[in-house]
Amino acid sequence: MPVRNLVLGGSPRVDGPVAEHVRMLTGRDPEVLPPIVVQRDTLRVVDGEHRVRAAVLREDERIRAVLCEGTEAECFLYAVRSNIAHGLPLSLESRRAAAVRIVREFPGWSDHVVADLAGLSDKTVGALRRSTSEIPESNTARIGRDGRARPLSAAQGRRQAGALLAEEPGLSLREVARRAGISLGTAHDVRRRLDSGQDPVPDQRRSRAETVPEAPPRVDAALLLRQLRTDPALRSSEPGRVLLHLLNLTGQALGRRSDILGAVPPHCLPAVAAMAEAYARDLSGLAEQIRAALPDPH
């Protein structure tokens, strides 16, 4: 990519580029350096500002680059992740500033998720969240490392479930659990307590300041897909692009289930149902293979 076309700025380094690191890179063979990452729409350098500055000093006309897609916030996430994983590490001040921006852009993400991205402890992120007034608070749930949405308190989810059961008595418990962000078993318990005239929140949960989170099986697939789409390692290979295309189309199709069902003529329903079940089994098998390939956390 032509060096003159690139746009610098927006780096997570609050203290700016490091001149010594740039000078060191000018003496390196540019072919052995990793390609920079550039946002496709704006040609802004997402990762590799020092390498670009070194190329300018060498008077190179072109530099190896990988294009990425995504919003400004998503590209910033990738820049932070990249500078935590390799190259010149971000200073503590830069990592703290990055955490504040991430929490401001994605207030529903848990402290653990933001801490992993910014290279900080979850306690530090929590303190930054509480001390920064312009950060909007997520009132109902936070999304964890696994993409699952969990209520900020178990009691909050129970009370929301109780309100749903009171307002819509015919609502299924599965739907109550989904809307309130609690498990199906907890939804059963809430209805049992309401039927017996009890508070939906047990006394012991209220006495523990209502801070114990539930773990509902709800996943923010759109969030996970946005994260994957900002990873050049996936976008730079054909199998990776096929996977992203598959995940994107699957999400779109599942989001329009009613429309799709209405478009299927009656005589095609058995075949479509059989294929959907077959693909579901295959995708489940793929998920098991991927989980089996995960590194041992211990």
- 103-151 pLDDT tens trace: 888 877 778 888 888 888 888 988 888 887 655 554 445 555 445 555 5
Q: How many domains does the chain have?
A: 5
Which pLDDT score, from 0 to 100, does residue 23 have? 92
Both tokens of residue 125?
Answer: 């992120």
Euclidean distance between CA atoms 226 and 239, whole angstroms? 18
Match 């900002």 to its residue by tokens: 230
Q: Which residue, 104, 122, 143, sits at the end of a domain?
A: 143
- 203-226 pLDDT tens trace: 755 544 444 444 444 556 777 787
Query: Can you point out the beta strands (E) in 147-200?
Result: 149-151
Tell me if the pTM is above 0.75: no
Residue 190 in contact with residue 165, Cβ under 8 Å?
A: yes
pLDDT at 154 over 90: no
The reply to whether 14 and 61 lie within a common domain is yes
Which residues are CB-neighbours of 220 under 8 A, at least 6 positions away? 143, 147, 148, 149
Q: β-strand 36-39 against 65-68: which pairing, if any?
A: parallel
Q: What is the mean pLDDT of residues 269-295?
A: 80
Arithmetic mean of pLDDT over the chain: 80
| DSSP secondary structure string for all residues of 216-282 | -S-B-HHHHHHHHHT-HHHHTSHHHHHHHHHHHHHHHHHHTHHHHHHHS-GGGHHHHHHHHHHHHHH
- 256-265 pLDDT tens trace: 777 777 777 7
Domain containing 122 — which CATH number?
1.10.10
Range of the domain at 190: 149-207
The reply to whether 265 and 244 lie within a common domain is no
Euclidean distance between CA atoms 121 and 144, whole angstroms? 15
Domain assignment present for residue 273? The answer is yes
Going by the DSSP 8-state scheme, the letter that residue 2 receives in this structure is B
What are the φ and ψ backbone dihedral angles of 205, each rounded to 5 degrees? -70, -35
